[in-house]
């Protein structure tokens, strides 16, 4: 392909709305263009990358026994009402009505559709297991779509659903997908980690996320180098703190102190000269129509996922400060668990804290020498905080470390959540009716492309991993007016593309500097430069995008050299 003919309009300026590197570079290098918030067109170079990702995914899904189907994007409300998710899904679902005023959704996911499909046509254990997948656009009406392809409102997903006879069958399907996913990200040359994840609103029990490692990743991961335990921070359990023998302090009398203007944990630390470890903070939430308070140690971060799972609520929002003052008659900064007019849920660490300080549920006052049990009794005591670096590993007790990643794949054991709700059953060996045991397995295709850029770039542009690069190689003749340079460039081009390699030739009448800049920005992994000096010695320059130095290679050896590099990456 000639550079002059490729439709990849590059930008000199970084668009101001682009906050993260992948968004900036994909726009600048002419891979994507925005149509509306969170909705993008994929230009030719991007679509080549997406097709490569899809091909790898398809090959591995087929190899694991998956069969590809294509289901409708438009989904009738009745199916979602049957599963009970039409109400639960909330504003994230794009909803529409047809001319007969019937309600539909633009599919954010396909459990309802596939369960209905299988229920209609699969009736016997003999037809199981069944693994069906599709690659298709999905829709989610994000409140604030941002970060380019990372959190779009329309995005490309691969979703596979497994149907099994029993739990053992599900275990096997799950294992096959786990292995297929690992191969997929290895084949793309992406650095990734598999972590234990929270299965959240989708239900079910076991769940893993596949994370592409990137310092800009939105997900915090805790991991253990000793035993390979890794988990999303949302999921990572904090082990119950051990009471250290008889060293509990004696409970002192409860004391109310005047603390005007003291609102935050930092304020309390400064005004009373105490460490955060002796303070308890109260966070107030609006959970399915009522206020609940979560109490955790002053220096800890509340884990909203854990709280939400504990409450089993559909909606958990941090409460509005003004409303709290009006309804409870106390400002957020002075809330506390003693005498609270809301249900109190305590993190397990609070149980081992003696004589702590907290808000007095009265503006301008705090309580000192508070003790759980004597002064208040929470609804529940549970693990409610985020794990942090240095916490003991829940498996082997070594110290945990933290890193960041981007979630690109997620696998879930659903069990019978959908098959029971939607009465999807089969007849087992003994003629008994049983619900299908299901699993679901997703990969964000367009998100994987963005994650690959987040992980692989430098100040000059993208560095595509070879297996998913739009083209593998670019040939840059320094001066397109020199016939001998162009002749050699075309001759190498013919040889390499004749072997099936994807090659660009930069035939533009531009300065060499401009051509190099564009090649770097676009991220083509290999570059062959043909200049006058090298030509005198019958040599060309080879440069790997991810290395700084260039190597001179004799013209007659160039094809072999390129093949040798390609076989290594
Ligand atoms: Zn460990």
Domains in the chain with CATH codes: 9-188+417-454 (3.30.930.10), 255-382 (3.90.960.10), 471-568 (3.40.50.800)
Q: How far is the CA of 241 from the centre of ligand 1 (A)?
A: 17
Q: How far is the CA of 229 from the centre of ligand 1 (A)?
A: 5
Q: How far is the CA of 251 from the centre of ligand 1 (A)?
A: 36
Q: What is the pLDDT of residue 203?
A: 46
Q: How far is the CA of 239 from the centre of ligand 1 (A)?
A: 12
pTM of the model: 0.85
Q: How far is the CA of 396 from the centre of ligand 1 (A)?
A: 4
Q: How far is the CA of 170 from the centre of ligand 1 (A)?
A: 27
Q: How far is the CA of 450 from the centre of ligand 1 (A)?
A: 31
Q: Note the helical H segments in 136-201.
A: 167-187
In this structure, what are the phi and psi dihedrals at residue 519, rounded to the nearest 5 degrees? Answer: -65, -40
Taking 3-state DSSP, the helix, strand and coil percentages for the chain, each rounded to the nearest 5, stand at 35, 30, 35
Q: How far is the CA of 384 from the centre of ligand 1 (A)?
A: 21
Q: Which residues of the chain have pLDDT under 70?
A: 198-204, 244-247
Q: What is the pLDDT of residue 17?
A: 85
First to last CA, the chain: 23
Q: What is the pLDDT of residue 244?
A: 66
Q: What is the pLDDT of residue 199?
A: 58
| d(C-alpha 469, C-alpha 56), whole Å | 13
Q: How far is the CA of 211 from the centre of ligand 1 (A)?
A: 19
Q: In sequence order, which residues have a C-beta less than 8 Å from that of residue 393 and are 6 or more positions away?
A: 224, 226, 227, 229, 399, 400
Please say whether the dihedral angle defined by the alpha carbons of residues 564, 544, 523 and 209, taken in this order, is positive or negative.
Answer: positive
Q: What is the pLDDT of residue 247?
A: 67
b (16+ CB within 10 A) / e for 475-494: bbbbebebeebbebbeebbe
Q: What is the pLDDT of residue 195?
A: 92
Q: Which residues share a beta bridge with 382? A: 347
Q: What is the pLDDT of residue 476?
A: 97
Q: How far is the CA of 230 from the centre of ligand 1 (A)?
A: 8
Q: How far is the CA of 225 from the centre of ligand 1 (A)?
A: 7
Q: How far is the CA of 397 from the centre of ligand 1 (A)?
A: 6
Q: How far is the CA of 400 from the centre of ligand 1 (A)?
A: 7
Q: How far is the CA of 323 from the centre of ligand 1 (A)?
A: 44
Q: How far is the CA of 333 from the centre of ligand 1 (A)?
A: 38
Q: What is the pLDDT of residue 143?
A: 86
Q: How far is the CA of 181 from the centre of ligand 1 (A)?
A: 23
b (16+ CB within 10 A) / e for 402-411: bbbbbbbbbb
Three-state DSSP string of 383-419: CCECCCCCCECCCCCCECEEEEEEEEEEEEEEECHHH
Q: How far is the CA of 231 from the centre of ligand 1 (A)?
A: 11
Q: How far is the CA of 390 from the centre of ligand 1 (A)?
A: 12
Q: How far is the CA of 342 from the centre of ligand 1 (A)?
A: 38
């Amino acid at each position: 392909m000639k550079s002059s003919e490729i439709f990849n309009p590059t930008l000199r300026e970084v668009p101001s709305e682009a906050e993260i590197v992948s968004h900036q570079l994909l726009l600048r290098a002419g891979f994507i263009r925005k149509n509306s918030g969170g909705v993008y067109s994929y230009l030719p170079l991007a679509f080549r990358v997406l097709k490569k990702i899809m091909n790898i995914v398809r090959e591995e899904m087929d190899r694991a026994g998956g069969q590809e189907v294509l289901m409708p994007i438009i989904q009738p409300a009745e199916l979602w009402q049957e599963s009970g998710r039409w109400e639960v899904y909330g504003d994230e679902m794009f909803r529409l009505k047809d001319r007969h005023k019937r309600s539909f959704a633009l599919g954010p996911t396909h459990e309802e559709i596939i369960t209905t499909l299988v229920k209609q046509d699969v009736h016997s254990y003999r037809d199981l297991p069944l693994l069906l997948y599709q690659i298709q656009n999905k829709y989610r009406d994000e409140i604030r779509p941002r970060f380019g392809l990372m959190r779009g409102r329309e995005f490309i997903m691969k979703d596979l659903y497994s149907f099994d006879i029993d739990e053992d069958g599900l275990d096997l399907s799950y294992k096959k997908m786990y292995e297929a996913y690992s191969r997929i990200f290895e084949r793309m040359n992406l650095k990734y980690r598999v972590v234990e994840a929270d299965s959240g609103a989708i239900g079910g029990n076991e769940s893993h996320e596949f994370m592409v490692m990137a310092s800009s990743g939105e997900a915090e991961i805790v991991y253990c180098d000793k035993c390979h335990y890794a988990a999303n921070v949302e999921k990572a359990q904090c082990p119950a703190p051990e009471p250290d023998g008889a060293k509990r302090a004696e409970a002192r009398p409860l004391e109310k102190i005047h603390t005007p203007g003291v609102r935050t944990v930092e304020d309390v630390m400064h005004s009373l000269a105490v460490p955060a470890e002796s303070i308890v903070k109260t966070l107030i939430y609006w959970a399915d129509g009522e206020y609940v308070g979560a109490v955790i140690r002053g220096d800890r971060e509340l884990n909203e996922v854990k709280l939400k799972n504990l409450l089993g609520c559909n909606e958990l929002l941090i409460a509005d400060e003004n409303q709290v003052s009006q309804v409870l008659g106390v400002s957020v900064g002075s809330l506390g668990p003693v005498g609270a007019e809301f249900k109190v849920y305590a993190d397990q660490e609070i149980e081992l804290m003696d004589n702590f300080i907290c808000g007095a549920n009265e503006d301008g006052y705090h309580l000192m020498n508070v003790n759980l049990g004597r002064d208040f009794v929470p609804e529940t005591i549970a693990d409610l905080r985020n794990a942090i670096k240095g916490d003991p590993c829940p498996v082997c007790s070594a110290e945990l470390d933290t890193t960041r990643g981007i979630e690109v794949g997620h696998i879930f054991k659903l069990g019978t959540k959908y098959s029971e709700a939607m009465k999807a059953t089969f007849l087992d060996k003994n003629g008994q009716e049983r619900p299908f045991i299901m699993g679901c397995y997703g990969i964000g295709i367009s998100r994987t492309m963005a994650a690959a850029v987040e992980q692989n770039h430098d100040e000059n542009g993208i560095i595509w991993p070879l297996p998913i690069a739009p083209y593998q190689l670019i040939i840059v003749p320094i001066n397109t007016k020199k016939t001998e340079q162009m002749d050699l460039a075309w001759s190498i081009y013919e040889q390499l593309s004749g072997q099936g390699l994807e090659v660009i030739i930069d035939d533009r009448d531009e300065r060499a500097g401009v051509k190099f800049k564009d090649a770097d920005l676009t991220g083509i992994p290999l570059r062959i430069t043909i200049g006058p000096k090298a030509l005198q010695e019958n040599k060309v320059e080879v440069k790997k995008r991810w290395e700084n130095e260039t190597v001179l290679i004799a013209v007659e050896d160039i094809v072999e050299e390129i093949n040798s590099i390609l076989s290594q990456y």
